[in-house]
Amino acid sequence: MVLPARHKEMYSMLAETEAHRRVTTARRFLRTLYMENPPGYMGLSTFEASSVTRWLPAHSFSEAADLAVELGEKQDVYLNIGLRAEDLGDKRRGTAEEVIALPGLWADIDVQGPAHKAQSLPPTRRDALKIIKGIPLSPTWIIDSGHGLQVWWLFKELWTFESEKERQRAQELSTRFQATLQARAKEYGWRVDGTHDLARVLRIPGTYNHKLELKEVEIAWPR
Amino acid sequence: MPGPDDLKRYNPDDLEPYLLDIAGREEHEVSSERNGHVAEDAAVLLKLLKGRLSSRILSAIERGPEVFEPAEGKDGSSSGADAAVCTALIGEGLTDKQIRDFYNAYPIGTRGKYARRGDDYLTGTLKNAREWVNKNGKSKTTNDDAWEEPVSLPEGLPPVARLVPSMVPKPLRGWLVDVSERMQIPLDFVAAAAIVVAGALVGRRVGIYPKRYDDWLVIPNLWGAVVGRPSLMKSPALAEVMKPLSRLVAEAYEEYQEKKQPYETEVMVADATKAALRDELKTTAKKAIKSGDRSELNKIARRSQDAELPEEPVLRRYKSEDSTVEKLTEILLENSRGILIHRDELSGWLRNLDKQGREGDRSFYLEGWNGSGSFDVDRIGRGSLHIPALCLSILGGIQPGPIGAYVYQATQGEQGDDGLLQRFQVLVWPDPPASWRNVDRWPENDAKNRAYKVFRQLDALDPQKLGASGEDEEGVPAIRFTDEAQGAFDQWRGELENRLRTAKFPSAFESHLAKYRSLMPSLALLFHLMDFVDGTQESDAVGLKAALRAAAWCKYLETHAARLYSSAQNPAMEAARALLERIRKGDVKDGSSIREIYRKQWAKLSSPETVYKAAEVLEGFGWLRVEENKTGGRSTKKVHLHPTLRAEG
């Protein structure tokens, strides 16, 4: 149906309530991730045509959630997990060495399916959960990223590095964490990509995964 | 989503004991200089596993394979102990590296076969154990008394859509946003209430034909409710929205009084005239008997008949707050446009209708929702009354607890499963505001006056000016959608009907959604009328803007309805959630009695029955066991917590 221009706003109203729910989800996720008054900047990256990263003050959860959902309407949008000391500009995501704070540790486990055809991946989400059990402590979140699971073990407080040594310790912990999960996967004959880099990006609940059909990134557990 | 405080979080040091050492990952041997670190890691791990491993496995780890007690018919040798220990630890999710740490730190390894035979032996044992677990699942040796993995309780309330100000019709927007900000109440409360009030004012004065040619008529009277905790100021919110209606009530009463006085004078004159004529008739009749001339007599009789009583003025009734069905019947006989029933607390009204012997009342209300039907009321000893047009709007507040219990009842095939609940289409159950701030400012009078004027003009609506035709057999004037709005409605309806046919909704919710067929056109009509009387809409048909706004409202209201029906948990489930939360906080210890728990008088757990039912639910989900001990004729029920809960505590 072709609409007169004046009525287009009403159509957007239909989508507005739904978008609001997703923005709320993203905002709560970011707020829980970084907690009160985090230092530095958080980055939202898109890789559609070229890599572009928008840097926002790390405490601006609402603005970041709005932006993430808005960008996520048309493309995949990712969060740079580690915070940076400054706005690095659109063209730079920065390296692990520039990370100043970390909210927790994570696992990014692809699951076999139309988007991931490798036979070495866990066949189902339930199988992917077996890998997670390599860490006997219950995760904070299990996020269904659309074609796999992204799992978080959050720290009790944001780990803000006070020295390079401390950052290196975090990097080592992350590397060992990923190695543990990889070893666990290997026991089942599966493979998990190493995602130990502190400059790693992950998806944000409330945004869409655009690989193949549109799928919302959702917190699968706890609901 | 659980709140940030409910989520599991860790210190980096909490995670470290479970992680592979990169240097040692490829080689399984543990160097002697790292043994101190290994022992520390294994000790932390064992502490965490204590609630989950059986006593015989723990004893074998801590005291050595020689004390191992095999399960009946199983191998009790050192190899048997290693096989059982490795199987149990693998079942708990430990890696080979972590298990190897145990063997380097505890007597199971340092005094067992591992110490004598070396790492190849352990590697083989681990391989066999892992194969066994992969094939058979988790070993039962990990559970003291075969505790199963507890199952999460069903989800709590689902999220709802927020009402964005742009969804509120413009003529009311400024007023309602101002009220919600000044009172610090959800906009949802006042907006939903205002729509129901507007629907009541229009009532049967104007309807809408939702289809292009069909004679299916929808009357825009609506039932609405605001759901929230007592502290959320539901009643003041409703009272604020009722104010324009109260003004109309006061004016109607004044007008009635003005007409009533001359009417009573006229009645007195008419009565006196009739009495005088009767006297005159008697005198004339006596004369006529004597004279035989009846002409004068007939003249007086005709004059007496002509002296009719004047027409009695009718008090326009807009609302009723506590009327019996009989009284409502009388009001409706004189107010065919319909009436709003306003109840501050709807739970009492709902409970009353559930009482035995009130079936007739239920039918009355159920029929009144349609707005288009007639109804016969039989009155004991006073004959029956026929209401040609029964049109009721309902508005009130209710708390989550009572509505949850009511929904449960109404969705379990018990009394109440007759569609009464589904008629509350404009029900909103918003999240409580996250924070409160003191807003102290003058009301926005321009916005308020504009909104009040809309209500007044809806009351005075002239269907002819609107271009409404009375094609309906009952003579209710009605309008249709414009072409483009009709397209939008048809598309919206098609989507709704297809969704209803997927059979994916619980029946009560499906029945609720099925009533959106009339909700959408009702809302569209009301939005159109508000714009029309506000002077911002001239069309004599409901336009696309109103139709789309109505569709947006349906989408918004659906999320609130989903919250309503998901609250239909067995009240015991709510109590179970509360009890589990208390256990996790450490407020309830392993072995606590039901009596000890209810005496704490925690919310939702304040009686022995509710605590017992909650414990029963949690037992069903594997979180605890209820044990009954009888001592001297008196029984005590105690709860035994799942090992994971004990470990959390």
Q: How confident is the model at residue B427 (pLDDT cuts 50, 70, 90)?
A: very high
- Provide the residue type at B515 as one letter: K
Residues of A in contact with B126 (CB under 8 A): none
DSSP string, A58-111: TT-HHHHHHHHHHHHTTS-EEEEEEEESS---TT----GGGEEEEEEEEEEEE-
Give residue B276's pLDDT: 86
Return the minimum-mean-pLDDT range out of B194-208, B470-484, B540-554: B470-484
Confidence check: pLDDT of B35 > 50:
no
Give residue B124's pLDDT: 87
Tokens 């002239």: give the residue: B462
Using the Cβ of A220 and the Cβ atoms of chain B, whether some distance falls under 8 Å is answered with no
* Phi and psi at residue B80, to the nearest 5°: -65, -40
Q: How confident is the model at residue B30 (pLDDT cuts 50, 70, 90)?
A: very low
Confidence check: pLDDT of B355 > 80:
no
Q: Rounded to whole angstroms, how far apart are CA atoms B341 and B369? A: 11
Å between A189 CA and nearest CA of chain B: 12
- Provide the residue type at B586 as one letter: G
Q: pTM for the full model?
A: 0.54
Å between B527 CA and nearest CA of chain A: 13
Give residue B148's pLDDT: 62
Q: Which residues contact A193 (CB under 8 A, 6 or more apart)?
A: A108, A110
Q: Looking at residues A122-137, what average pLDDT do you find?
A: 89
Confidence check: pLDDT of B168 > 80:
yes
**Rg for chain A, CA atoms, rounded:** 18
Give residue B448's pLDDT: 95
For residues B417 and B115, which has the higher predicted lDDT (pLDDT)?
B115
Which of A130-144, B41-55, B142-156, B305-319 has the highest average model confidence (pLDDT)? A130-144
Q: Are B334 and B315 in contact (CB under 8 A)?
A: yes
Return the minimum-mean-pLDDT range out of B23-37, B52-66, B251-265, B513-527: B23-37
Give residue A7's pLDDT: 46
Using the Cβ of A74 and the Cβ atoms of chain B, whether some distance falls under 8 Å is answered with no
Å between A54 CA and nearest CA of chain B: 26
Tell me the residues of chain B between 159 and 178 that have a Cβ less than 8 Å away from chain A: 159, 161-162, 164, 166-167
Confidence check: pLDDT of B285 > 70:
yes
Confidence check: pLDDT of B87 > 90:
no
Give residue B480's pLDDT: 94
Q: Looking at residues B358-376, what average pLDDT do you find?
A: 84
Give residue B648's pLDDT: 65
Helix, strand, coil percentages for chain A (3-state, nearest 5) = 35, 25, 40
CB spacing of A179 vs B559 below 8 angstroms: no
Report the 3 state secondary structure along B14-46.
Answer: HHHHHCCCHHHHCCCCCCHHHHHHHHHHHHHHH
Chain A CA closest to residue B89? A136
Q: Rounded to whole angstroms, how far apart are CA atoms B332 and B334? A: 5
Q: Are B371 and B203 in contact (CB under 8 A)?
A: yes
Helix (H, G, I), strand (E, B) or coil at A120: coil
Does an H or E element contain B540, and which? none
Confidence check: pLDDT of B175 > 90:
yes
Q: Rounded to whole angstroms, how far apart are CA atoms A4 and B596? A: 67
Average pLDDT along chain B = 83
- What's the number of domains chain A is made of? 1
Return the minimum-mean-pLDDT range out of A75-84, A149-158, B382-391: B382-391
Q: Are B512 and B558 in contact (CB under 8 A)?
A: no
- Provide the residue type at A218 as one letter: E
Confidence check: pLDDT of A10 > 80:
no
Using the Cβ of A47 and the Cβ atoms of chain B, whether some distance falls under 8 Å is answered with no
Q: How confident is the model at residue B89 (pLDDT cuts 50, 70, 90)?
A: confident
Structural domain containing residue A87: 5-221
CB spacing of B552 vs A16 below 8 angstroms: yes
Give residue B142's pLDDT: 41
Q: How confident is the model at residue B34 (pLDDT cuts 50, 70, 90)?
A: very low
Confidence check: pLDDT of A12 > 70:
no
Confidence check: pLDDT of B39 > 90:
no
Confidence check: pLDDT of A82 > 90:
yes
Q: What angle do CA B421, B422, B428 make, to 5 degrees?
A: 85
Q: What is the share, in percent, of chain A residues with pLDDT greater than 70?
A: 91
Q: What is the share, in percent, of chain B residues with pLDDT greater than 70?
A: 87
Q: Looking at residues B606-623, what average pLDDT do you find?
A: 84
Q: Looking at residues B310-328, what average pLDDT do you find?
A: 84
For residues B130 and B477, which has the higher predicted lDDT (pLDDT)?
B477
For residues B634 and A219, which has the higher predicted lDDT (pLDDT)?
A219
Helix (H, G, I), strand (E, B) or coil at B6: helix
Tell me the residues of chain B between 87 and 106 that have a Cβ less than 8 Å away from chain A: 92-97
Task: Give the Cβ contact number of residue B151 at 10 Å.
Answer: 10
Return the minimum-mean-pLDDT range out of A78-82, A115-119, B81-85: A115-119
Residues of A in contact with B123 (CB under 8 A): none
CB spacing of A14 vs B551 below 8 angstroms: yes
**Torsion A210-A215-A220-B2 (CA) sign:** positive
For residues B649 and A38, which has the higher predicted lDDT (pLDDT)?
A38
Q: Are A191 and A118 in contact (CB under 8 A)?
A: yes
Chain A CA closest to residue B159? A21
Q: Looking at residues B621-633, what average pLDDT do you find?
A: 75
Q: How confident is the model at residue B26 (pLDDT cuts 50, 70, 90)?
A: very low
Nearest to A135 among B18, B134, B164 (CB): B18
Average pLDDT along chain A = 88
Q: Any idea what the CATH number is for the domain that residue A207 is in?
A: 3.90.920
Å between B648 CA and nearest CA of chain A: 12
Q: Looking at residues A124-139, what average pLDDT do you find?
A: 88
Q: Are B218 and B519 in contact (CB under 8 A)?
A: no
What tokens appear for B238 in the block? 């409703």
Å between B430 CA and nearest CA of chain A: 13
Give residue B423's pLDDT: 94
Residues of A in contact with B16 (CB under 8 A): 173, 176
Torsion of CA B214, B217, B218, B221, to 10 degrees: 170
DSSP string, B51-116: TTS-HHHHHHHHH-GGG--PPTTS--SHHHHHHHHHHHHHHTT--HHHHHHHHHHSHHHHTSHHHH
Using the Cβ of B41 and the Cβ atoms of chain A, whether some distance falls under 8 Å is answered with no
Å between B161 CA and nearest CA of chain A: 5
Helix (H, G, I), strand (E, B) or coil at B276: helix
Q: Looking at residues B515-543, what average pLDDT do you find?
A: 92
Q: What is the share, in percent, of chain A residues with pLDDT greater than 90?
A: 57
CB spacing of B4 vs A35 below 8 angstroms: yes
Q: Looking at residues B409-429, what average pLDDT do you find?
A: 80
Instruction: For strands B392-398 and B624-631, give the pairing.
Output: unpaired
Nearest to A137 among B6, B18, B164 (CB): B18
Strands (E), B178-301: 207-209, 223-227
Give residue B146's pLDDT: 56
CB spacing of A13 vs B491 below 8 angstroms: no
Residues of B in contact with A139 (CB under 8 A): 8
Give the Å distances, CA to CA, from A170 to A102, B10, B141.
8, 14, 37
Instruction: For strands A41-46 and A77-84, give the pairing.
Output: antiparallel
